[in-house]
Amino acid sequence: MLAGPKAAAGAMPPSKLKYDPSTDPNFTYKLTISGSNWELWVIPKKPGFGGFYVAPGMMQDTYYNSKGAASNKDRKLTGSSVNGDIFFEG
């Protein structure tokens, strides 16, 4: 994800992560991939931060726990947005 996939000669390179998740001082990230499904945990390292869980499947439901690590038993989010830098080209 950091290096990004390679583009064919002359093609525009796809987006890739701008920041290395392993250096995040606030969260630990765990990604598992099984076939065409994936699931993601964003686990806070410090008190006061909430955690997120993205469930596998077509809808990829997202859950939030304000007190720590999240699971599919926590509050299901009905919308989401991104604010700030996540990806960049090249």
State pLDDT tens for residues 9-67.
Answer: 776 666 667 778 889 999 999 999 988 888 999 999 999 999 999 998 777 899 999 99
CA distance 44 to 79: 21
pTM, to two decimals: 0.72
**CB-CB neighbours of 70 under 10 Å:** 23
Where is pLDDT greater, at 42 or 7?
Answer: 42
Would you give the end-to-end CA distance of the chain in angstroms? 12
